[in-house]
Structures are given as C-alpha cells and as structure tokens.
Structure 1
Amino acid sequence: MGISVDTFFLELNGQGTLQAQIQQMIAEGILSGRFHVGEKLPSSRKLAAHLGVSRITVTLAYTELLANDYLTAKGRSGYYVSQNAPVPPKYSPVPRGTETVDWDKTLARRFSDGDVLPKPSNWRDYRYPFIYGQADRTLFDHANWRLCAVRALGHKDFESLTADYVDQDDPLLIEFIARHTLPRRGIAARPEEILITLGAQNALWLASRILLTHNRNAVIEDPCYYALRSLLDHWDCTVTPLSVDRDGLPPEALPDQTDVIFTTPSHQSPTTATMPVNRRSHLLERAKELDAMVVEDDYEFEMAFLGAPSPALKSMDRDGRVVYVGSFSKSLFPGLRLGYMVGSEPFIREARALRSLVLRHPPGHIQRTAAYFLSLGHYDAQIRRMSKTLAKRRDAMDTAIAEHGLTVAGRGVLGGSSMWMSAPDHVDMTRLAHKLQSQSVHIEPGAPFFSGPEKPQNFYRLGYSSIAAERIAPGVKLIADAIRTS
C-alpha cells in the first residue's frame, strides 16, 4: 500500500536545508508509526511537485534515508519503509511544540467532570458481565437486520439514503411508530407530533434545552439517570432532586416552583420501580396545579415479560403537558442511537428546529433500515425472543440472590433487564466493583446515580441482558463472597 503524497508538508518556518527537512519529515513519520513497514513512498518526481522543490532535493533525502536503513529500494519499483526501520507498535504523533493556551481560562464550560459509570471496553471478555444496556449478540437477529440494511441501500430507497431531510424524518419510520409502537403505550399521535432523535439522551437534551432557562426549576428523581443530572447542571437552571420510593416519584413532594418534571414512571432508573396508575394520575394533577411540563422517559417498556406494562403517562395526558421519550437502544442495540419523542405540535416544531441547527437529522439510511426491520415483523420477533430469555435469566438471578443472601433494593415488577441491589452500609461498591474485575466479574456501582456530595456508596446494579443464564449463579456467588469479606 502506498503512502499518499497529501500526507507530506513542510513547516513554514522549518529549520535546516530543504533536504534535511524532508529527511526529518519522513523519519518522524516512521518513528511515530504513521508510516508502516513495507509501505511505498511517493515517487521523487511526485513528492517534489507536491512540495514545490527540485526533484534532486527529494532524491538526495531518499538516498540518505536509504543509507540509514529507514528506507529500502526495490529496483525500478521505488522506495519503501525498511523492515529494519525503528517502527513503534502503534501510531503516536510527535508533538510539534509546547501548547501555550491557558485552558483553565479558555474553556467557558466544562462537561468532563460529570458522573459516569465505568464500562471496560473489553466487557464481553468477562466471564460474569452483569452489565446493563448492552446487546447480547446471541439474541440479535443479525441476518434480517443485514437484509433490511441491504434493502435500504437499493435503488428504490436512493432518496432515503442520500437526501438531506433538513428537519424532517423518514416517513416510513414515523408511520410505524405512530401506528404500531405508540398505540401499545396507549398514545395517539399525528406525524407532526413525533420527532426522531439520536437516542433518548438526545431527546432529553432537546427537551431540556427548549423547556428550561436560568430562571426555571427542574425536578429530577433521586437516584436517577446520571447523564440527565449532568446535562441539567449545565443549563444554569435550578435542579431539585426528589427521593423516590417503592412507587417512584412522589407527586406530593414536588416544590411549588416546579416548571419541568423529569420522570421514569414505567421503569424507574435505576431502582426499576413502577409507578402505579393512581400515582400517575396524581402526578398529572399536581403538574396541572403547578402549570409544569412533564418529560416521561419510557425506556424498557418492551421488556415487560412478567405482565402487561402500565399505560404510559402520556396516554393519560389531556392537557398536552407530557413530552414522551422512547428509544430502540435497549430493545435493538445501543449503537443504533435511534429514539423518538412525542409531544404537542408547538413543542415538536421547536424541537425539530433545534435538532436541525445541531445535527440536521439522524442518518436516513439508519432510519430506513430500522423502518424495514420494524415493519416486516423482525422487531416483534426479537422482542419475544429477548423476553423469553430474560425471563429465564431473571429466575436464575432470583434463585442465586436468595441462595447467597444478597439484598434486592428494587426489581422491576413487570420485568426489565436489571436489579437494583444494596450491600451493608459500610461496603464501598465502587471499590468492590474494581476489585471484582480481577475475577472477571463486572458490576455497576450505584453512587453515580445519586445527587449531592454525600452519595451512598453501598448500592449497585446487576444487569442480566448480556450474561448467560448458567453463569449467573457462580457470578452472584463471587459478588456475595466479596461483600461478606469487605
């Protein structure tokens, strides 16, 4: 493989002769690993024309590098990076100077200091991966997804593949969501009231950006999805965390100054609590009293394998004050980054305009592929297959947890793919999670989900969407043993 001539350039204020600068440029490319052993360099004529120097200058530089064993010549074929060149295993750019920017002064906002969950990139290599929200390759319908992707690449779908939708979405995907997905949640919506997003996180960002300002007040659950809390912290609005109980967010605790309520009523994140219908009605009544908007994140409603899911809060909304957020990330795969939001037309109009300013729209090919996968029945088949498997894993979790005396702090009454656990108060689960990695066990510490400086350290989450049923019991035993000896 040849090295493109476009990767070569001379520094404006380079030191030394042109021949020396060319030698240094090529040597640095080899030493940094940017140029690999066996790669062919541009011809002396082509490189000279590109750099605007004489051909003899390039030839002399090549000759010197050849003598130093950086390059090797192959007859009339040209010059190549030598097998004996000191090439490092990975590309590591050579610094071209010391940065003088004062980043403490330059950065107007910081987004890197929020709470995050540690998630090793090689988690699939763990023997006991109690990880949440990741796809199980044994359950995913690769074959039909591939067929749908190929179909979406066809001539018939050329416009959906290549067109700039500007602020619009794939009409086939919108139609499926309106006619099939939303009615299952008791929601009726027109296309003008539906917007496709890059997952639920993007939907929450859009909703918070539109509904909140520096003089408005938001209420979040405590504990809650940690990324939502970090997101709101950057909007300069007032954020009030309210502790959830076994039924989710308590409406009577909402402050009188509340403007926007963020809640996960069907499957509270992360405790998995399901809000009863009467409390949902109470929440809507309280929101009406406050003239507050409600953002409902209805994640994982498809995973209700123990019973029919309760109607969505949006289905009970008669005032248009609920913004509904859904996602295909948990039911298909998180890398899809495809979700949707439903709201009154004036709200969706603004969300559509804001999305267009930031990212235009989610890729058309992804939308059309998902539309085919959903409309051809593959999605429903996958949900049935996942539900059946998750039910078995849930039984294995219940049995193992009871056998080893672990404490469940929350389990989804209708299903789901995780359990919220608590250890004795003195146990630091963040430290224990790190220790368990040496035994090929991955668990998620619960501290990042809590608000405030004094976060409880004894909670943790056990996901079972990506661990084989037969590995659950021995994995739970290792966790129990580690907690007992802490």
Structure 2
Amino acid sequence: MPIAVETFFLSPDAPGTLQAQVQQMIAEGILSGRFHAGEKLPSSRRLAAHLGVSRITVTLAYTELVANDYLSARGRSGYYVSDTAPVPPVYSPQPRNADRVDWSHALVQRFTGGDTPVKPKDWRSFRYPFIYGQTDPTLFDHANWRQCAMRALGQKDFAALTDDYNDRDDPLLVEYIARHTLPRRGISARPEEILITLGAQNALWLTSRMLLNQRRQAVIEDPSYPAQRDLLTHSGCRLMPVRVDADGLPPEAIPEGTEVIFTTPSHQCPTTATMPLARRQALLARARTLDALVIEDDYEFEMAFLARPSPALKSLDEDGRVIYVGSFSKSLFPGLRLGYMVGSEPFIREARALRAAMLRHPPGHIQRTAAYFLSLGHYDSQIRRMSQALHDRRREMEQAISTQGLTIAGRGVYGGSSLWMQTPEGVDSGRLAARLLDESVYIEPGAPFFAGPERPRGYYRLGYSSIPTARISEGIARIAAAGRALL
C-alpha cells in the first residue's frame, strides 16, 4: 500500500537543511514503525509539491536514504521502504531495585480507569481518519505562528517571556478576548472577570474544585465528553446525568436539589445539537428557580460556517450565574492548551488563586505568541480558511452518507467539525470500529460518551477536521460496507 503524502509534514522550526529535514522525517517514520517494509513512498514530484520544496531536494534525500539502506529504488516504479531497513533496537531495562511500595494502600485516590477513549498515536497513518479534534497541518498557518513566536521572543517582550505572572495574565491576550472574542458571543466582561487557563479542561477542573463537594449535586448532559464526566466524578459530588434530545439539555428534566449545571448549548458534545434561544431562556429560568450556577462550555463556536451562531448563554444571563468557558485549542491546535473562562469577579479571583496554587499560570511566551497571532489578524484568516475547508468536507460527508444509506443522528445547525451517527439496527459501533481498523478507517464508538452501565452501543462520531475531502467518499463507503457485513 502506498504511503499517503498527507502523512508527511516538515516542522517549521526544525534544524538543518531542507534535504536533511526530509531525510530525517522519512528515517524517523521507518524507525518508529509507521512506515513498513515494502510500502511505496510518494513520487519526488508529488512530495516536493506537498512540502513546498524543490524536487531536487526530495530526490537527493531519497538517494541518500537508498545509500543508507532505508529505501530501495525499483526502476521506473519509484522508491520503497527497504526490506532490510534499519529497525530500532529492543531495549527493556530491568529495574535496579524491587518496588516494595504497596501502591494499592498508598494511593488514597485513583484517576485512571475512566471513560475517556484513548486515540491512536499513529492516527495520521490512517488513510481515512474520521478523528475529532485534531489539526490538519495543511490548514494551519505555520509561517505566521512562527513569526509571532519569534516576535514574542524579542527584547521588547522580555518581561512577558520571563516574568512570573502569578496573580495576572498577559494583558494583550486578555484585552483581545475582552474586546474581540467575547463581543462576538454577545458577552461584555472586564479584565477582572477573565482568567486564562490551560485549555477548557483546566477551566472545568478549576470550576469543579471550587463549586462541588460530596454534599452538592451537579447535572451533566448525557451523552457528554467522557473526560468531563470523569473529572466531575472525582469531585465526589452527586452527579446526575440528564439525557439530551434534539435541542440539547431539557431544562424541565433537571432535578430538584441541583446546584451546578454543566452544558454545551451551542454545540452539544457529542450529538452536535444546538440549543434554540427559547430553551436557553428556559434553562436560565430553571437555574434561577433552583438558585443553581451554569457552566457553559462554548468550545467550538468559531466553526459556524453554515449560519451565524446564537448568542451565548452567558450573554442572556442577568444574574451573574453563568460561568463561560472558551478555548483556542479547538480553533488553533489542541497542543496549544490555551483557553479562558469568564465569570463574576469574586469567582475569577478565587479561581486565579486556585490556579496559582497548582500551576501558577500558563506560560507567558505562549500567551504573548497567541496574543500576537490573534491581534494581527492571522487568527481570523485561519478561521475563514478552516471554515471553508470544513464546509466543503461537510458537504462531501453528507452526500456520501446519503449515497451509502447511512443514518445521521445529529448534525450541528451552524456547522462544527463532526457528525453524530447511528449504526444499522443491531450493529455494535465498538465492533464496527474494530473491524474498520483493518480498512485503515478510524471512527469513534459512541458508548463511552454515555453514563451508566447500560450504554447505547449503536452510535459513533465522525470527525472531518483532518481527513482530505478527496478521501471522504471512499471512507464512508468502507464504513457502510463494514456495517452491512456485521448485520
């Protein structure tokens, strides 16, 4: 099977000449086991065009790899991973001393064994990666991000790079969020009401630590993000899953005694349901009746390429009971781990103190780099580019799904980057996902998103942020064929 050209990309800050970088990239792919003996590499012309380098650069790298026995050249056929390519040595160090600690007794709490699915580290090697929440390197603005990072390293920003912020955040980043990001969601906030976090997950952790204990009751959507459910379970609160419908979380189903409500109204995770304005108002009224706080996770509002999104729940809040959580990790790249939350000043003051006790603050250089990327207009340009690509992929997805007779269980009203799917009657999505691995197709089974022992097993999620448009139709066809084979 030929190796997809999309699996190759050069790091913008990698050392050495372009030829050395291409050579190292391929050698590392072989040594890591991603590229197997006998697999065909892209032609030098195609790889050069994909990487944005000259063809001679790729040709020289291939020639050097042939000389070192990583690759073999087969006449007019092209270049292949050599059958005698070097392999990494097997290294299994033995412990010097026996571990005599009884960890079952020493650990007073455990955080492993939750529901959060483990995504494959080699997902880029899949030909049809319907994976959610990962970045397509062809859409990311490497050049301008690198320029912003270099600017943040300059003498002018020495304090932002080196100072201990402790009880504050980068003022440029906070100002951008207050003056540009939040107004787009109808939210007005002062700097004292904004806290920078290490992504949305960090914001949710801080919130749960401050608002929940064993005596309090919280509501979470069902299905929901597994890591969030694990996080709330660790808080020891009475956790009440409430099944969502086509419009998201139903306010009337929230039980008496609830003190904190976690919701994703703009883009429910994972069903993608969008909560209508009337239900948002009803949810706020229900929270007021219960005197409950509402945690609004607005994780993907930028991906509204079909229509203008509804105002955030926070923008409708007249009581100060909504705590708003946003993230740049979804719109820029997940490894950034940069988010923010907005709430009343007393809440943010305590959240800042708790954050300082755990990690002080997100790195100043990362904050300043993001501030430049946002304020110089690169972020908006990237969002427009991503939105167009996602719109094209969404159209291709829906057409292929219709052609193959598959069932969409949920689609975002305004866009997004995934579809919530339902299998044919009697087909377990876990078995379907396992069968598709042999077809180089990756999908996410839906069972882990549900709470309780009796979890529906007929749902799965298809992300389209990282799969090329040209491969969607064939990937959907393989999913349909595998589903029919399991009937």
Q: Given the two structures, how large is their TM-score scaled by the length of structure 1? A: 0.81
How much does 1:347 deviate?
0.4
Bigger-Rg structure (1/2) = 1
User: What residue identity is the alignment partner of 2:196?
Assistant: I
How much does 1:439 deviate?
1.0
Aligned partner of 1:350 in structure 2 is 350
Map 1:141-152 onto structure 2 (within 5 A).
141-152=141-152
Aligned partner of 2:89 in structure 1 is 89
Map 1:38-437 onto structure 2 (within 5 A).
89-437=89-437
Residues 112-149 of structure 1: CA distance to partner in whole angstroms, max 9, x if unpaired?
A: 11012231111111110000000100000000000000
Structure 2 SS opposite 1:255: coil
Cα distance in 2 for residues equivalent to 1:91 and 1:321: 55
Cα distance in 1 for residues equivalent to 2:97 and 2:327: 45
Cα distance in 1 for residues equivalent to 2:103 and 2:435: 35
Structure 2 SS opposite 1:439: coil
Q: Given the two structures, how large is their TM-score scaled by the length of structure 2? A: 0.81
Structure 2 SS opposite 1:415: coil
Cα distance in 2 for residues equivalent to 1:112 and 1:374: 36
Residues 390-412 of structure 1: CA distance to partner in whole angstroms, max 9, x if unpaired?
A: 00000000000000011100000
Cα distance in 2 for residues equivalent to 1:92 and 1:365: 38
Structure 1 SS opposite 2:241: strand
How much does 1:88 deviate?
8.0
Cα distance in 2 for residues equivalent to 1:125 and 1:349: 45
Cα distance in 2 for residues equivalent to 1:147 and 1:170: 19
User: What residue identity is the alignment partner of 1:256?
Assistant: E
Cα distance in 2 for residues equivalent to 1:211 and 1:362: 22
Cα distance in 2 for residues equivalent to 1:92 and 1:197: 38
Of 417-426 and 468-477, deviating more is 417-426
User: What residue identity is the alignment partner of 1:294?
Assistant: V
Cα distance in 2 for residues equivalent to 1:402 and 1:107: 51
On the 8 A contact 1:396/1:472 being kept in 2, the answer is: yes
Q: How many residues of Structure 1 are paired with residues of Structure 2 in the alignment? A: 400
RMSD (CA atoms): 1.1
Unmatched runs of 5 consecutive residues or more in structure 2 = 1-86
User: What residue identity is the alignment partner of 2:405?
Assistant: G
Cα distance in 2 for residues equivalent to 1:127 and 1:384: 26
Aligned partner of 1:46 in structure 2 is none
Aligned partner of 2:459 in structure 1 is 459
User: What residue identity is the alignment partner of 2:448?
Assistant: P
Cα distance in 2 for residues equivalent to 1:295 and 1:92: 46
User: What residue identity is the alignment partner of 1:433?
Assistant: A
Residues 147-199 of structure 1: CA distance to partner in whole angstroms, max 9, x if unpaired?
A: 00000000000001011101210000000000000000000000000000000
User: What residue identity is the alignment partner of 2:294?
Assistant: V
Distance 1:88 1:243, change over 3 A: closer
Cα distance in 1 for residues equivalent to 2:167 and 2:272: 35
Structure 1 SS opposite 2:236: coil
Aligned partner of 1:52 in structure 2 is none
User: What residue identity is the alignment partner of 2:120?
Assistant: P
Structure 2 SS opposite 1:284: helix
User: What residue identity is the alignment partner of 2:199?
Assistant: G
Cα distance in 1 for residues equivalent to 2:408 and 2:446: 13
Cα distance in 2 for residues equivalent to 1:459 and 1:398: 17
Cα distance in 2 for residues equivalent to 1:366 and 1:430: 38
On the 8 A contact 1:131/1:463 being kept in 2, the answer is: yes
Cα distance in 2 for residues equivalent to 1:145 and 1:225: 29
Aligned partner of 1:438 in structure 2 is 438
Cα distance in 2 for residues equivalent to 1:186 and 1:360: 30
Structure 2 SS opposite 1:362: coil
How much does 1:431 deviate?
2.2
Cα distance in 1 for residues equivalent to 2:379 and 2:161: 21
Cα distance in 1 for residues equivalent to 2:262 and 2:200: 13
Residues 315-360 of structure 1: CA distance to partner in whole angstroms, max 9, x if unpaired?
A: 0001000000000011100000000000000000010000000000
On the 8 A contact 1:411/1:420 being kept in 2, the answer is: yes
On the 8 A contact 1:167/1:355 being kept in 2, the answer is: no
Aligned partner of 1:4 in structure 2 is none
User: What residue identity is the alignment partner of 2:100?
Assistant: T
Residues 248-300 of structure 1: CA distance to partner in whole angstroms, max 9, x if unpaired?
A: 00001111100000000000000000000000000001100000000000011
On the 8 A contact 1:219/1:241 being kept in 2, the answer is: yes
Cα distance in 2 for residues equivalent to 1:158 and 1:167: 18
Of 384-393 and 104-113, deviating more is 104-113
Structure 1 SS opposite 2:124: helix
User: What residue identity is the alignment partner of 1:445?
Assistant: P
Cα distance in 1 for residues equivalent to 2:88 and 2:124: 28
Residues 179-231 of structure 1: CA distance to partner in whole angstroms, max 9, x if unpaired?
A: 00000000000000000000000000001111111100000000001111101
User: What residue identity is the alignment partner of 2:221?
Assistant: E
Unmatched runs of 5 consecutive residues or more in structure 1 = 1-86
On the 8 A contact 1:118/1:444 being kept in 2, the answer is: no
Aligned partner of 2:480 in structure 1 is 480
How much does 1:373 deviate?
0.1
User: What residue identity is the alignment partner of 2:241?
Assistant: P
How much does 1:104 deviate?
1.6
Aligned partner of 2:60 in structure 1 is none
On the 8 A contact 1:408/1:420 being kept in 2, the answer is: yes
Cα distance in 1 for residues equivalent to 2:427 and 2:102: 41
Cα distance in 1 for residues equivalent to 2:161 and 2:90: 35
How much does 1:105 deviate?
1.5
Cα distance in 1 for residues equivalent to 2:473 and 2:330: 24
Structure 2 SS opposite 1:420: strand
Structure 2 SS opposite 1:262: strand
How much does 1:458 deviate?
1.3
Cα distance in 2 for residues equivalent to 1:91 and 1:198: 35
